[in-house]
Amino acid sequence: MAGRLVNVVAILAVVFLVVQPISASINDELSPFAAPYLDALCKEVECGKGTCKASLDYTFNYMCECEAGWKRSRFQDEEDLKFLPCVIPNCTLDYSCGTAPPPAPEIKEPPKNSSFYDPCYYAYCGEGSCTKSLRYGHKCECKQGFTNLLNITAFPCYDQCVLGSDCARLGITVAKNTANNTSTSSSNNSGNHASSSLPGSFVWLTILIMSVAMVPRT
């Protein structure tokens, strides 16, 4: 019995060694014919703040190469998630001003067959719900009071107060900066109104004093 098991394992090992180079050779031979398909594929893919790279060697035949400061998910290890769009900012997200963030989707090993691909299965929309828009694309429909990052529907929905000041370096409008500027502007305007109303008040005070002084004393 043990001898048969050893023979089976040996046969499987030989088959694997034979099939692997054949598979690689087939991919090489198909590459010229697949070029139009790969070129068209990246036109359907939404990579967010990333660039689409198409190849028969990738999961779903493409990957998103992220720009500096952007991630594909909230997970540390993204080795198996390169097909996801780059929509997560790598900056401070402070949820102390509101509710805790919704949990990231539980992403298991992606299926190899693209017919099983559902972008909403993997997408993180934050405070929003996902709707499939293209074969490889999606949009996040935000709850009331929340907005898509960068005002792009493929990006997650956040409350503006969550975004830290360091997010501004990624081109993200930060509400805290706007609030500070508004507060400063209001203070300046209040000071201007106070100073502009001072001369009028001074004139009336002078008239009152003079009127009292002119009253005949008995």
Kindly state the DSSP code that residue 172 receives in the 8-state scheme: P
Cα separation, 209 vs 103, in Å, equals 71
> Of 104, 77, 73, nearest to 87 (Cα)?
73
> Of 158, 161, 175, 39, nearest to 87 (Cα)?
158
Cα separation, 206 vs 82, in Å, equals 77
When pLDDT is averaged across residues 65-76 and rounded to a whole number, the result is 90
Residue type, 9: V
Q: Would you say 18 and 125 are in contact if contact means Cβ atoms under 8 Å apart?
A: no
Kindly state the DSSP code that residue 56 receives in the 8-state scheme: T
When pLDDT is averaged across residues 40-68 and rounded to a whole number, the result is 92
Cα dihedral 63, 69, 75, 78 sign: positive
Structure tokens at 175: 């509400």
Judged by DSSP in three states, 15 sits in helix
When pLDDT is averaged across residues 190-198 and rounded to a whole number, the result is 44
**β-strand partners of 63:** 53
Mean per-residue pLDDT of the chain: 73
Cα separation, 174 vs 171, in Å, equals 9
Q: Would you say 82 and 62 are in contact if contact means Cβ atoms under 8 Å apart?
A: no
- Give the model's confidence band at 140: pLDDT under 50 very low, under 70 low, under 90 confident, else very high: very high
Percent of the chain exceeding pLDDT 70 equals 60
Cα separation, 159 vs 147, in Å, equals 7
Burial of 154 (0-12, 13-18, 19+ CB in 10 A): buried
Kindly state the DSSP code that residue 148 receives in the 8-state scheme: E
pLDDT over 80 (residue 69): yes
When pLDDT is averaged across residues 210-216 and rounded to a whole number, the result is 53
> Of 154, 153, 149, nearest to 175 (Cα)?
149
pLDDT, residue 172, reads 94
27-41, 93-107, 170-184, range with the lowest pLDDT = 170-184
Structure tokens at 56: 């028969």
Q: Which residues contact 11 (CB under 8 A, 6 or more apart)?
A: none
pLDDT over 70 (residue 58): yes
